A and B are shown apart, each in its own frame.
Chain A
Amino acid sequence: MNFDDHTLVNKCLSGDKKAFEQLVKRHSHRVFRTIHRFFNDKFLVEDIAQEVFIKAYTSLKTYRQKSPFENWLVKIAIHACYRQLQIQRKHRKNLQSDIIPEDCALLNNFCLTSSLSHNSNPERKALLRELVDKILLQLSPKEKMVLILTEVEGMTMKEVSELMGIFPLTIKISNYRARKHAMKIMKALSRKDIS
């Protein structure tokens, strides 16, 4: 039987544990996709996803059923990612040293040549992802989050504001700072490298 999310939530609250399994299977792709935007480590993504579903399970009573269940889950996922980004930021002291000469060569190759010709090689994409992660690691957790949600996920400022539980004006400022910071990093990298 295919029940809608709200029915499954009610079933789960009345003691049907199988209902929650159905909810997990239905929304796990969306949760994984959201977390994967921020972290490229397979095991870390699974750990955070697990944390998200456990949090959802234990606080299911607090879900008001006014908004879609998926949005509620994504909100939990965003908060879990934000916490993880803060932890990562705290444990990394020298952020500049992460970008190695090979990365600079790849960036150079992309910016000066490859961006003018679409190349969908998966290996190259993986390398680019690593490089972008290293660049974004230099931004603050909030800046990184806002930049990814707006630029990659294509969300509006209002949506980001609702998801993160932060005032829209703060999101706008963070977005501006993130763009400025990213441009500064790219400018610095363009000067650093030319082979």
Chain B
Amino acid sequence: MKNLCQFTKEGWEAYNKGTPLTFQEMKEITDHLHTCSACREFAYQHSFYSLLKASYEGDLQEPSERFFAHLEKKLKEIEYYSQPITFIEILLQKGWKLVPVMTVLLVLLLGSFAYQYENISTITTHTPIEEVILFEDTLLNESHIIYAITTEELKNGQ
């Protein structure tokens, strides 16, 4: 048994160094490895590097067209976002946040205008001025309206 272990180890090492084994030698070694735990341990440990190399050799992943297209898109995005931003761009990008505030302000402004317009039109349409009392400033040679009598007041004899 000891001789067979020795033979297996020597044969294994010789094979790993590049010495070819005959079919009979290979068979003897593999048969022995299935039965001897010490030699199996040796074989497992010594085959790690060949396992490592065998698994990594050969096919490698190549970059796909999809990869290049995606990378180009990403780089363009980076380029775009790395450029200094102008005030108009800020407004265009962030302006939507001001929309509610601006809407409220606009409604208030329009409401205020509408209220004033209504008062002005009430005076002009419903209370026409009939008579104007003028105050004559002799020193400055100017005249100022001091009171305007409306139609209603004239009717009531005020």
Chain A contact residues, CB within 8 Å of chain B: 17, 20-21, 24-25, 28-29, 32-33, 36-37, 42, 45-46, 49-50, 53-54, 57-58, 107, 110-113, 115-117, 120, 122, 125, 128-129, 131-132, 147-148, 151-152, 182-183, 186-187, 189-191, 194
Given contact pairs A20-B75, A33-B61, enumerate 9 new A-B contacts (beta carbons under 8 Å). A36-B60, A37-B56, A49-B63, A50-B67, A107-B51, A110-B54, A111-B44, A125-B57, A152-B53
Q: If the complex has contacts A17-B75, A37-B56, A151-B52, are A32 and B63 also in contact, measured as CB distance less than 8 A?
A: yes
Given the complex, which residues of B lie within 8 Å of A128, measured CB to CB? 51, 54-55
- Which 5 residue pairs across A and B have the least CB separation, nearest first? A190-B44, A128-B55, A132-B55, A129-B55, A28-B63
21 cross-chain CB contacts under 8 A? A20-B75, A24-B68, A28-B63, A33-B60, A33-B61, A42-B61, A49-B67, A50-B67, A57-B75, A107-B51, A116-B21, A116-B29, A116-B30, A125-B54, A129-B55, A131-B55, A152-B53, A189-B44, A190-B37, A190-B40, A194-B34
Q: B47–A115 contact, CB under 8 A?
A: yes
B-to-A contact residues, CB < 8 Å = 15, 21, 26, 29-30, 33-34, 37, 40-41, 43-45, 47-64, 67-68, 70-72, 74-75, 78-79
Shortest beta-carbon distance from B11 to chain A in Å: 9
Whether A151 lies near B49 (C-beta < 8 A) is yes
* Cβ contacts under 8 Å, B26 to chain A: 116-117
CA distance A49 to B71 in the complex (A): 9
Give chain A residues whose Cβ lies under 8 Å from the Cβ of B30: 112-113, 116
SS class of chain B's interface: helix, strand, loop or mixed?
helix
Q: Which of A42, A129, A186 is within 8 Å of B56, CB to CB?
A: A129
Known: A129-B56, A186-B44, A187-B45. A58 touches B78 (CB 8 A): yes
Residue in chain A with minimal CB distance to B33: A112
Known contacts being A117-B26, A183-B45, is A152 close to B52, with CB within 8 Å?
yes
| A45 in contact with B61 (CB, 8 Å) | yes
Q: Is the interface of A mostly helix, strand, loop or mixed?
A: helix
- Considering the complex, give the chain A residue whose CB is closest to the CB of B75: A57
Cβ-closest chain B residue relative to A110: B51
Closest CB in chain A relative to B132 CB, distance in Å: 76
Check B58–A112 contact: CB distance below 8 A. no
B residues in contact with A117, CB < 8 Å: 26
**A17 CA to B74 CA, complexed, in Å:** 13
Interfacial chain A residues near B41, Cβ < 8 Å: 187, 190-191
B75 touches A187 (CB 8 A): no
